[in-house]
A and B are shown apart, each in its own frame.
Chain A
Amino acid sequence: MYRYDEFDAAFVADRVAQFSDQVKRRLEGELTEDQFRPHRLMNGVYLQLHAYMLRIAVPYGTLSARQMRKLAFIAREFDKGYGHFTTRQNLQFNWPALKDIPAVLTHLAEVEMHAIQTSGNCIRNVTADHFAGAAADEIEDPRPYAEILRQWSSIHPEFTFLPRKFKLALTGAPADRAAIQVHDIGYQLTKNASGETGFIVYVGGGQGRTPMIAHKIKDFLPVGDLVAYTQAIVRVYNLDGRRDNKYKARIKILVHEMGLEKFMDAVEAEFAAMNKQELKLPQAEVERIQAYFAPPALPSKSVRSEALEARRATDKKFASFVENNVSPHKAPGHGVLTISLKAIGAIPGDASAEQMEAVADLAEKYAHDEIRVSHEQNLVLPHVALDDLPAIYDELVKHKLATANIGLISDIICCPGLDYCSLATARSIPVAQRISEHFGEGARAAEIGAMKIKISGCINACGHHHVGHIGILGLERKGVETYQITLGGSGDETCSLGDITGPGFSEHDIVGAIETIVDTYVAQRRGAGEDFLTAYRRLGMAPFKKALYERDKGADI
C-alpha cells in the first residue's frame, strides 16, 4: 500500500499545525463560529446532535494493521470505545471534544492518516473498489490512480470552495463494487483496442434529494490525462455550478440544466485550452506509485484447500461463512474475505476498539497486513490463503465478527440517522436492527438470497437508499417518523434508481412491509436462481404494490 515519503509527512504535519492553530484561535475567540465552520468542516469536524463528530479519511478504503490499531487507540483514548465505518469508506468518531482534536490529528499523522477534506465543499476522500488489487475480475488496480487524485486534490487552491461537495470513485473491474455511477465523477479502468490502459469517464451521478445516474462522457481517457481531465471537469463545475440553492449545487444538476452535450463541449473546450503538460502523468511516475500497490508475494497454492474442505464438511456454520463471505482472488488457493460489521441486531458499520484490534491482528498474521473498508460498511482482508480460513474464522467468532451474511438481507447499509446526525429526519439504525433480527442469518436468509437493503435517515441519502434493492428512506411527517420504500435500485454496473412503492410506513409497520415484499418476491420468482433484483426487473412494481397496500383490505399475504 502507499507509504508517505518525507514530503507527504511534512504536508500532513503542516496541515495539522494549521488546523491546530485554527482550533486554538476558535477556542480563544479570535474566529467566530461562522468563520471557523468551513475550516473545521474541511478537516472533517462536524457538530452533530450530541457532540462533535470527526470523520477520518481512509483513502480508497485501504488500511494497514498499524493504522487500524491507531484508530482503536483513538476510540479508547478520545472517544467512547467505538467508531463507525461509513459508506464513503471512512471512519467516524461520534464523541470527540474539539479541544482534543489537534491531539487526535497528531496521532493520526503518526500512522500516515488525516481527516483532510472529509467534509466541506471540496473534493472529498477518493473511493475505490474495496477488492482492488485482489479481485479475480480486475483489469488493473485502480488505487494508484486514486492515490494520485488524492494527492492532487489535497488543499487544491482553486477547488476548496466549490459550489458543493465533490466525490470521485474509481473501479478497475467491469463489475462495479464502488458505485461509480452515483458519484460526481466515476472512473472505470479499461483497455482500448491497442491494449493501452485508460478510463471510461462518468460524470454527474449522485444520490441525495435529486438522485441521478451518471452520464458516460468519455469512452477512453488515456491514463496520462487523468489529472488534467479531472481539472477540466472540476473547473467547469466551479465556474458554472449553481450557488444560489445548495440543493441544486451538485454537478449532476449542472449537467442536467446545461444539457449533456453543452456540458461535454464545455469540458472538452477547457481541456483543449489548458496547459496539459503541467498535469500530464509521466508513465514512470505512474509506475512508481503502482509499485506501492504491488500485490503481496503470495505462495503458490493449489486451487483446492484441503484444510478448508475438511472443516467445511463438518461445520455448517463455517461452510456458510465461506460461501457468503469469501470471494474469488486472483491467486489460486487464496480468497478475498469480507468481515461483516453487521452481526444480527448490531449497528451496521460500528466496530469496537477490541474488534478493530482483532482485525488488525488477523491482517498482520494472515493477510499481508492489509485491510479494506468497503462502502457497504464491512471490513475486508483482501489476501488470505484458503488454508488459513478455519483459524481466521475461529478468531473472528471470538470477537462477534464471524456473521456469515455478506450480500444477504441482514447485510444492510445504514447511515447513523437521527440517533446521531443533525441532518436526519428519522432514525435508521433501529430499523436496520429490527430487519436484521427479523430475518436472521439462518435458513430464511439463505432462501431469500442476494438482497441489498439500504437505509437513509434523511433525503441526503448517505445510506444509499436510492440504489438499494430495497431502499428505505426515513422521513418525518407531523412529528412522527415514517419510512418510504423504494424497490429495484442498484449501485453496480447495471446501475438503477429505486422506484417508490407508495405511501410510507410507520416505524411499527416497516418490518412487516419488508416481510411482505420478501414474501411476494419468493412466491413469484423463477426459482432460487432468480435473485430479487432480477425478479423485480422482470415483474415490475405492480405485484409488490398490490401486496403492500391491499393487505389492509383483506388480501392475503
Chain B
Amino acid sequence: MPQIVSANRLTDGIVVFLGQGDQWVENFRSAALLADKPALEAGLARAQDAVRANIVVEVAPMDVAETPHGLEPKHIRDRIRAEGPTVRLDHGKQAAHGA
C-alpha cells in the first residue's frame, strides 16, 4: 500500500506532509507518494532529519489509497488529520480546499 509521511510543524503544530526533497507541504495531495518499503524508509529518514533540525515533530506514516478523486488517506483518523474536524468544516485543511 502506498504511504505518505505526516508530521506536525514545530512552530505552530499544523499537520504537514513530506513533499519532494526536504520540503514539507500542508496539502496531503502534494505529498511525496512512497510506493514501497525502501521508499518509505528513505522518506522516514528524511523526516527524522527534519525532527533533528527542529522543523517538525511526531512523524507518522499514513496509508493512502488511490481513488477516482485522487489520493485519499485510508484511515478515518488520518482523514481527519489531513482535512480537519468533521464537525467544523470551516476549520482545518478542508476550509481551504472547499473554498
Do any CB atoms of chain A lie under 8 A from CB atoms of chain B in the complex?
A: yes
Interface residues, chain A, with chain B CB atoms under 8 Å away: 26-29, 33, 47-52, 80, 94-95, 97-99, 347, 418-420, 424, 427, 429-430, 433, 479, 481
Given A51-B14, A429-B87, A430-B87, the answer on whether A33 and B92 have CB atoms closer than 8 Å is no
Q: Contacts of A26 on B, CB cut-off 8 Å?
A: 10, 54
A427 to B86, CA, bound (A): 9
Contact between A33 and B57, CB atoms less than 8 A apart: yes
Name B12's contact: one of A98, A418, A433 (CB within 8 Å).
A98
Q: Which of B17-25, B27-35, B36-44, B76-84 contacts A (4 or more CB under 8 A)?
A: B76-84
18 A-B pairs besides A51-B12, A52-B13 with CB distance below 8 A are: A26-B10, A26-B54, A27-B10, A27-B54, A33-B58, A49-B15, A50-B15, A50-B84, A95-B91, A98-B12, A347-B87, A419-B88, A420-B85, A427-B80, A430-B87, A479-B74, A479-B76, A481-B76
Q: Contacts of A99 on B, CB cut-off 8 Å?
A: 11-12
A420 to B84, CA, bound (A): 8
Contact between B77 and A49, CB atoms less than 8 A apart: yes
B85 to chain A, nearest CB (A): 4
A506 to B58, CA, bound (A): 30
A353 to chain B, nearest CB (A): 14
Contact between A50 and B12, CB atoms less than 8 A apart: no
Q: Which residue of A lies closest to B58 (CB)?
A: A47
Contact between A50 and B81, CB atoms less than 8 A apart: yes
Given A80-B91, A419-B86, A430-B86, the answer on whether A47 and B80 have CB atoms closer than 8 Å is no
Interface size on B, as a range, is 20 to 34
Name B85's contact: one of A33, A50, A433, A479 (CB within 8 Å).
A50
Q: Contacts of A481 on B, CB cut-off 8 Å?
A: 76
Which of A29, A97, A419, A433 is most buried by chain B, counting CB atoms within 10 A of its CB? A419
Q: Which residue of B lies closest to A28 (CB)?
A: B54
Q: Contacts of A29 on B, CB cut-off 8 Å?
A: 53-54
Bitwise interface map of B from 51 to 81 toward A, beta carbon under 8 Å scored 1, else 0: 1011001100000000000000011110011
User: Is B3 among interface residues, defined by CB-CB distance under 8 A?
Assistant: no
Q: Contacts of B8 on A, CB cut-off 8 Å?
A: 47, 51
Contact between B75 and A479, CB atoms less than 8 A apart: yes
Contact between B87 and A433, CB atoms less than 8 A apart: yes
Given A97-B12, A479-B76, the answer on whether A33 and B86 have CB atoms closer than 8 Å is no
Name B92's contact: one of A47, A50, A429 (CB within 8 Å).
A50
Given A430-B87, A479-B75, the answer on whether A418 and B51 have CB atoms closer than 8 Å is no
A351 to chain B, nearest CB (A): 13
B78 to chain A, nearest CB (A): 9
Q: Contacts of A51 on B, CB cut-off 8 Å?
A: 8, 12-15
Contact between A418 and B87, CB atoms less than 8 A apart: no
A48 to B92, CA, bound (A): 13
A47 to B60, CA, bound (A): 14
Q: Contacts of B92 on A, CB cut-off 8 Å?
A: 50
Contact between B12 and A47, CB atoms less than 8 A apart: no
3 cross-chain pairs, A with B, having the tightest CB-CB distances, nearest first: A97-B12, A52-B13, A419-B85
Name A49's contact: one of B12, B80, B88 (CB within 8 Å).
B80
9 A–B pairs (Cβ distance < 8 Å), ordered by A = A27-B11, A47-B57, A50-B13, A50-B15, A98-B11, A99-B12, A418-B77, A427-B87, A430-B87
A424 to B84, CA, bound (A): 15
Q: Contacts of A97 on B, CB cut-off 8 Å?
A: 11-13
A27 to B10, CA, bound (A): 8
A97 to B13, CA, bound (A): 6
Which of B12, B13, B54, B91 is most buried by chain A, counting CB atoms within 10 A of its CB? B13
B53 to chain A, nearest CB (A): 8
Q: Which residue of B lies closest to A507 (CB)?
A: B76
A275 to B80, CA, bound (A): 53
A28 to B53, CA, bound (A): 10
A51 to B13, CA, bound (A): 4
A52 to chain B, nearest CB (A): 4
A27 to B57, CA, bound (A): 12
B15 to chain A, nearest CB (A): 6
Q: Contacts of A429 on B, CB cut-off 8 Å?
A: 85, 87
Q: Contacts of B54 on A, CB cut-off 8 Å?
A: 26-29
Q: Contacts of A427 on B, CB cut-off 8 Å?
A: 76, 80, 86-87
B79 to chain A, nearest CB (A): 10
A445 to chain B, nearest CB (A): 22
Q: Which residue of A lies closest to B91 (CB)?
A: A80
Q: Contacts of B74 on A, CB cut-off 8 Å?
A: 479
A47 to B14, CA, bound (A): 9
Contact between A47 and B13, CB atoms less than 8 A apart: yes
Q: Contacts of A52 on B, CB cut-off 8 Å?
A: 12-13
Q: Which residue of B lies closest to A481 (CB)?
A: B76
A85 to B80, CA, bound (A): 22
A44 to B84, CA, bound (A): 22
Q: Contacts of A479 on B, CB cut-off 8 Å?
A: 74-76
A97 to B86, CA, bound (A): 21
A98 to B10, CA, bound (A): 7
A48 to B75, CA, bound (A): 17
Given A50-B85, A95-B91, A97-B11, the answer on whether A418 and B80 have CB atoms closer than 8 Å is yes
Q: Which residue of A lies closest to B54 (CB)?
A: A29
B26 to chain A, nearest CB (A): 11
A251 to B51, CA, bound (A): 35
